[in-house]
Structure 1
Amino acid sequence: MPMKKTILYSGVLMFLFACGKSEKTINQAEIQNQELLSLTETDADYNNNNNKELKKLVFKNLDDIKDSEELNLPLLSKVASNLNIKYSNIKMDETSSINYDDKTAFFVLTIIEHNKKISKADGYENLGNYFQRKYLFVNRESGDIIAEEFDDNLGYYHNEAIRFSKSHILKDLVYLNENTPAIGFYTEASASSRIVLYSEQKFTLLTLANNEIKKVLYEYPIRLTNGDSNGSGTYQIETLETGMSFGNHKTNGFYDLIVTKNFSYEEAVEDSLENEMEEKSNLKIKKESEKLMFNGKEYAFNRDDRHRFLE
């Protein structure tokens, strides 16, 4: 079955995971990885410089993630002025921020470009409003721009089928080693349809190095849903949910990332007297794990779009 796309209804997901039962892991290494991600306490290692505990767990599962609630509006006003954009052109419900250190803040802005036009042989074509996603490190006092970068992968027109959510920044910084903080955030891509079910959340880790933005992990899929429905209760859905934690081993100076993958599949048929169908449900679960190692530039990975249950 080819991949199909839409938003997965949250109620269906809740049902899936409420009903799911874990099957046996394949080997001892996978069991250890699962145990690592079950930790809720910080790791026992300490930062040699400031004696702070290093938290190895990034998130146990997606429901465990806490978002940053910081949004310094006076600072954002200064940032808009320094970018030479109108404050009113910032889409506030798709903008978030976090303090990176005592002197620096990080923003993910969504900037509206009204009635964007492209040149054509017979004139210009108005494509409507375009929403651009921009990453910024700024001075917390003046709003001066330290580093900035557009993310073309997250730009979209108002009338496109695929939309991108606000980029949700994790409440806490994570440490790639004893001295290197990083910012984590995730963004959902989805399409609206009652028939084709698609939703994906992608996770990015970035840091500031020599006044440049470094994306050390870019758009790793942490939730992915595919399936289809008849729009009235009969559907088949395959869902991937992940957890993420740093291991104890370092490669090229940064801790390895351990990702646990939980695949679930449900096929359900709604009870229908008219169509002479009896209600039934079929649920399957599969667990896997993956280790991502830093290659000196990024945590490299090969995107895996294989279905575990859908054909």
Structure 2
Amino acid sequence: MKKTILLSGVLMFLFACGKKEKARNELETQNQELLSQMETDTDLDKKELKKLVFKNLDDIKDSEELNLPLLSKVASNLKIKYSNIKINETSSINYNDKTAFFVLTIVEQNKKVSKPDGYENLGNYLQRKYLFVNRESGDIIAEEFDDNLGYYHNEAIRFSKSHILKDLVYLNENTPAIGFYTEASARSRIALYSEQKFTLLTLAGTEIKKVLYEYPIRLTNGDSNGSGTYQIETLETGMSLGDHKTNGFFDLIVTKNFTYEEAVEDSLEYEMEESRELKTKKESEKLKFNGKEYAFHRDDRHRFLE
């Protein structure tokens, strides 16, 4: 009898130990799963709240998304001809699971303006339009023309395709913004001018908010004789999000690199020898959100050119 009771006690003890061990293993498994989930969430946060917008212009990666079937629906909803959209100057990106964003270049053929003596044909007019649309139906959520980027095909100053950044820019934990840049340039061998301007915009209900508009991220000025002698000053920038917030949005930190280059070709006629000079200067600027936009003072001062 005693042996039976002793054996039963041993079995009960082993059973209890087994249950504790099983519980301990289950708890460790749950803790490991929780830790893994926390690490995953942290990785997602790091990805979404990445502070670097771009280190320099060569570092920028453009969005390669362009949903042509969706664009066809958009054209129909806008009541414009699909053939009037300049596809190679149109960009898009998915804003979220339900919404896409487009920068359209729309060509108005042979635009005419009224004159006292009749109409004047000014040629093809290219317009830039911003659109948020439903990703399934192509229904328009918000739309806006940008008159600053409209131009006639024969004008001296032209605008490039608006290039959308591949990654969204998170202005805080919950507000994604779309960043894109557009280049304006002069068609001249003598006057050297080009400028790339950067814009950040968000969707607020059915309204497009340009929180940063046409900030110069690259600027080139100078002149040339067209055959090897020139003076040129170039501004290139980098942009990142600071740790501090103003009115709910992270401050924008802009690094500025100014480069001046002067080159002279050999010339027996003018008794000049070939030479080259290079100068650099670095500056920085902090842009704060004032509740409506990242306001900035446009600085067109040359650092080297007179």
TM range (shorter): 0.7 to 0.9
3-state SS of paired residue (2:294): coil
Equivalent residues of 2:48, 2:170 under 8 A apart: no
Query: Which runs of 5 or more residues in structure 1 are unaligned?
Result: 1-43
2:168 is matched with 173
Which residue matches 2:52?
57
Matched with 1:31 is none
In structure 2, runs of 5+ residues without a counterpart are: 1-38
1:74 partner SS: helix
Q: Which of the pair has the greater relative contact order for Cα pairs under 8 Å at 6+ separation?
A: 1
Corresponding position of 1:18: none
How far apart in 1 are the matches of 2:132 and 2:45? 24
Q: How does 1:115-264 map to 2 (within 5 A)?
A: 115-264=110-259
- How far does the alpha carbon of each residue in 1:89-144 deviate from its partner, in whole angstroms, 9 at most, with x for none? 00011100000000000000000001111111111111110000000000000000
SS of residue matched to 2:279: strand
Moved over 3 A (4+): 49-53
Q: Look up the match of 1:290.
A: 285
Aligned ranges 1:33-48 → 2 under 5 Å: none
TM-score (norm 1): 0.83
Aligned partner of residue 298 in structure 1, secondary structure:
coil
The code of the aligned residue for 2:297 comes to N
Shift of 1:274: 4.1
Equivalent residue, structure 1, for 2:69: 74
Deviation (angstroms), 1:273 = 3.4
SS at match of 2:154: coil
- CA deviations 1:54-91 (Å, max 9, x no partner) are 10100000000000000000000000000000000000
TM-score between both structures, scaled by the size of structure 2: 0.85
Tell which structure's C-alpha radius of gyration is larger: 2
- Map of 2:90 onto structure 1: 95
C-alpha distance in 1, partners of 2:225/2:298? Answer: 29
Quote the residue 1:114 is aligned against: 109
Q: What CA distance in whole angstroms lies between the structure 1 residues aligned with 2:197 and 2:123?
A: 26
Matched residues in 1 for 2:122 and 2:194: separation?
25
Among 282, 285, 294, which residue is 1:299 paired with? 294
Identity of aligned residues (%): 89
Instruction: Give, in whole Å, the separation in 2 of the partners of 1:272 and 1:264.
Output: 26
Per-residue displacement from partner, 1:16-57 (whole Å, max 9, x unpaired)?
A: xxxxxxxxxxxxxxxxxxxxxxxxxxxx9x88x978651010
CA deviations 1:130-173 (Å, max 9, x no partner) are: 00000000000000000000000000001000000000000000
The CA RMSD measured in Å over matched residues stands at 1.7
Residues 123, 255 of structure 1: alpha-carbon distance in 2 compared, 3 angstrom cutoff: same
Distance 1:123 1:250, change over 3 A: same
**Counterpart of 1:153 in 2: which secondary structure?**
helix
* 1:7 match: none
After TM superposition, the structure 1 stretch with the greater mean CA deviation from structure 2, 206-215 or 270-279, is 270-279
Tell me the alpha carbon deviations over residues 207-263 of structure 1, each in whole angstroms, 9 at most, x when there is no partner: 001111000000000000000001110000010000000000000000000000000
CA distance in 2, matches of 1:134, 1:248: 33
Q: Secondary structure at the match of 2:148?
A: strand
Partner Cα distance (1:122, 1:251) in 2: 55
2:101 and 2:72 map into 1 onto residues whose CA distance is 14
Q: How far does residue 271 in structure 1 lie from its aligned partner after superposition?
A: 2.0
